Structure 1
Amino acid sequence: MATKPSLNNEWQAFWLAVGFLTRIPMLAQINYSQRLMNKSSLYFPLVGLLLGIIYVVAFTLFSLVASPLVAIVLVLIAHLFITGAFHEDGLADSIDALGGGYTVKKRLEIMKDSRIGTYGTVALVMALLLKVALLMEVEHIWLALLAAPAISRLTPLLLMATLPYVTDPDKSKSKPVPDEFSNARLTIAAAFVLILSATLSFWHPLLIIGTLPAVLLVALCWGAYLRGQLGGHTGDALGASVVFSELVLLMFL
């Protein structure tokens, strides 16, 4: 009798993750709670895979009428629209704060500012340009578009599990995710990413090799920097980690 409520909770958690990370309409009635939001983090890589499938379909269609470069740019535009530039916004805010603040308090204040500064603008433009350039160099563009969104969304889960949350919880839209983060669900998410990576390595052997650096290397380096500069992580810093992980993975590919 307990199985049905449990499955229903997981179904809601999945769609809550979809609604949190994207603009895709949630096809389920959500009984929102902080506990359910905590559980939804398990599905971040799965939401990434869903996005990857959308990007592959879009790239295939765009390639029928445009060059690979134009198709990639159009896919990137679609990505920014579907996700609301969620992680890119986190990158810009993080770099603005870490580049312009001289104390932890000031950095956190800058990070909460909705305006974008020079550091954030430069970081955002360079990240998008590098992503386009790397995708143009990849042997199988469709494979990169499919795998990168899923693999990169494991990195923020590692940061949530290993670093304290430092933003004022009453002012953060990301507050519910880090609270009471489950290491057991992190293990499941990591297993999903590794299985996906191993399966897709049939087309590109370096994918499984690049997965660990893309996740672990970024989590270690970015996490150590955040601990030193902020004392922990913020929602914006988690978003930035996704962008960094995608770029590292694409470099390997």
Structure 2
Amino acid sequence: MSASPSRLDQEWQTFWLAVSFLTRIPLPIRIDYSQQRMNNSSMYFPLVGLMLGAIYAGVYLALGALFSPLVCVLLVMILHLWLTGAFHEDGLADTVDALGGGYTLEDRLRIMKDSRIGTYGAAALVMALGLKAALLLDARSIPMALLVAPAISRLTPLLLMRALPYVTLSEQSKTKPVASGFPGTRLAVATGIAALIALTATPWMPGIVMTGLTATLGVAMLWGLYLKSQLGGYTGDALGACVALSELVLLMGCTV
């Protein structure tokens, strides 16, 4: 009879489960999946964002010897869309389509599940990607902005998961296992991780702590209130949208 995995081994698997949920990066280990582990994996969202940010910053610096900053930023953004499967951007487009084109709760949830993209979603996606590129080019330190923005912005959906109920038309939603039963203690740890990342980046971007607070708490509160009025809670797509919105707010702060 095999011994039970240690607590460290369990957390290591939980971290990689978060990686598999948010990215397309191949897993280097075998994961013993469970509902509880899936719930707990949300704690590592900021760390997964930091891992992605390290990749983006490293690639940007490597490309800098060959291309202009604009080309480097666009290539890194393409890499981001590939590594994440445009996970959050898809959520942004679907959510804007639903909130812009649906007149009832049922219509909004149905539109959100539709794989096709509409005018509202396409416009939001184009503007968000264009604004992201412009803000990165204006950032005090492009590599540092690429490093910290993905990490801090991934705290925002955790705040929404604690504050709002989950709503969906389908019981087979990918996000539901993550949204169910996320412990408050693990939210506190995730918040601490994001705060530590912001404090570490402060010498390069002095306003990053206040910017991070605004991006996470501000977006979570305003976006959460809007979702509460329109949907009665949040969906997986709405969580993806809040990451994209939080990242844009954070990048705005990186330019001043």
Maintained 8 Å contact 1:169/1:175: no
Maintained 8 Å contact 1:152/1:246: yes
Maintained 8 Å contact 1:92/1:116: yes
Q: CA deviation at 1:28?
A: 1.4
Q: CA deviation at 1:33?
A: 1.3
**Alignment correspondent of 1:79:** 80
List structure 1 runs of 4+ shifted beyond 2 angstroms: 2-5
* TM-superposition CA deviations, 1:57-84 (whole Å, max 9, x none): 1101111110000000000000000000
Counterpart residue identity of residue 69, structure 2: P
**Alignment correspondent of 1:164:** 165
* TM-superposition CA deviations, 1:165-205 (whole Å, max 9, x none): 00135231111001011111000000111111011101111
Q: CA deviation at 1:22?
A: 0.3
Maintained 8 Å contact 2:88/2:241: yes
Q: What secondary structure, in the 3-state scheme, does the structure 2 residue paired with 1:131 have?
A: helix
Q: What secondary structure, in the 3-state scheme, does the structure 2 residue paired with 1:23 have?
A: coil
Q: CA deviation at 1:217?
A: 0.3
Using the alignment, how far apart are the partners of 2:148 and 2:142 within structure 1?
A: 10
Mark the CA change 1:178 to 1:135 in structure 2 (over 3 Å): closer, same or farther. same
**Alignment correspondent of 1:237:** 238
Counterpart residue identity of residue 58, structure 2: V
Gaps of 5+ in 1: none
Comparing 55-64 with 94-103, greater Cα deviation is found at 55-64
1:28 equivalent in alignment to 2:29: yes
Using the alignment, how far apart are the partners of 1:232 and 1:152 within structure 2?
A: 20
Using the alignment, how far apart are the partners of 1:241 and 1:97 within structure 2?
A: 15
Counterpart residue identity of residue 31, structure 1: D
Paired residues for 1:76-225 under 5 Å:
76-225=77-226
Q: CA deviation at 1:218?
A: 0.2
Counterpart residue identity of residue 64, structure 1: A
Maintained 8 Å contact 1:38/1:178: yes
Using the alignment, how far apart are the partners of 1:139 and 1:249 within structure 2?
A: 12
Mark the CA change 1:3 to 1:31 in structure 2 (over 3 Å): closer, same or farther. closer
Q: CA deviation at 1:3?
A: 9.5
The count of corresponding residues between Structure 1 and Structure 2 is 252
Counterpart residue identity of residue 79, structure 1: H
1:69 equivalent in alignment to 2:70: yes
Maintained 8 Å contact 1:63/1:71: yes
Q: What secondary structure, in the 3-state scheme, does the structure 2 residue paired with 1:243 have?
A: helix
Give the aligned CA root-mean-square deviation in angstroms.
1.2
TM-score, normalization by structure 1: 0.98
Using the alignment, how far apart are the partners of 2:169 and 2:187 within structure 1?
A: 24
Using the alignment, how far apart are the partners of 1:227 and 1:64 within structure 2?
A: 47
Counterpart residue identity of residue 49, structure 2: G
Counterpart residue identity of residue 241, structure 1: C
Q: CA deviation at 1:34?
A: 1.1
* TM-superposition CA deviations, 1:13-42 (whole Å, max 9, x none): 100000000010111111111111001000
Using the alignment, how far apart are the partners of 2:170 and 2:10 within structure 1?
A: 24
Q: What secondary structure, in the 3-state scheme, does the structure 2 residue paired with 1:176 have?
A: helix
Using the alignment, how far apart are the partners of 1:51 and 1:227 within structure 2?
A: 30
Maintained 8 Å contact 2:20/2:27: yes
Q: What secondary structure, in the 3-state scheme, does the structure 1 residue paired with 2:214 have?
A: helix
Using the alignment, how far apart are the partners of 1:67 and 1:103 within structure 2?
A: 47
Gaps of 5+ in 2: none
Mark the CA change 1:82 to 1:98 in structure 2 (over 3 Å): closer, same or farther. same
Q: CA deviation at 1:4?
A: 5.0
Paired residues for 1:8-27 under 5 Å:
8-27=9-28
Using the alignment, how far apart are the partners of 1:5 and 1:140 within structure 2?
A: 40
Q: What secondary structure, in the 3-state scheme, does the structure 1 residue paired with 2:178 have?
A: coil
TM-score, normalization by structure 2: 0.96
